[in-house]
Amino acid sequence: MASDKVQSVSDADFDSVIASDIPCLIDFWAPWCGPCKAIGPVVEALADEYKGRATIYKMNVDDNPSTPGKFGIRAIPTLILFKSGEKVDQITGAVGKAQLIDLIEKAL
């Protein structure tokens, strides 16, 4: 569920989104996933806090099966951080805000 702060990304535009020099965090989620819903407000808050320094996107794994398959995602939520098209790190599960901040800071 994208919002005005967090944009949606699809299989079709994924490569162009992660190619940016600005760190890009992708939240792989699904609408039926309880932990995904729980982490949603944290992801929204980070989009605000890192505006201009990092971009945050959400990818619905039900609608876009190709990209999660390419990265071997077997559990959601999984958040993967990219910079200049390269995977920097990833984290799986409904983790706390501090862990997500640590993840983003690795690429700044």
Catalytic residue among 33, 42, 43, 100: 33
**CA 27 – CA 90 distance, rounded (Å):** 10
What's the whole-model pTM score?
0.93
- The 3-class SS string of 62-74 reads CCCCHHHHHCCCC
**CA 9 – CA 18 distance, rounded (Å):** 10
- Domains of the chain as residue ranges with CATH: 7-25+33-93 (3.40.30.10)
The three-class DSSP label of residue 80 is strand
DSSP class of residue 55 equals E
**CA 54 – CA 71 distance, rounded (Å):** 21
Whether 24 is catalytic is no
Q: What tens digit of pLDDT does each residue of 66-106 get?
A: 999 999 999 999 999 999 999 999 999 999 999 999 999 98
Q: What tens digit of pLDDT does each residue of 1-59 get?
A: 555 678 999 999 999 999 999 999 999 999 999 999 999 999 999 999 999 999 999 99
Catalytic residue among 9, 18, 36, 79: 36
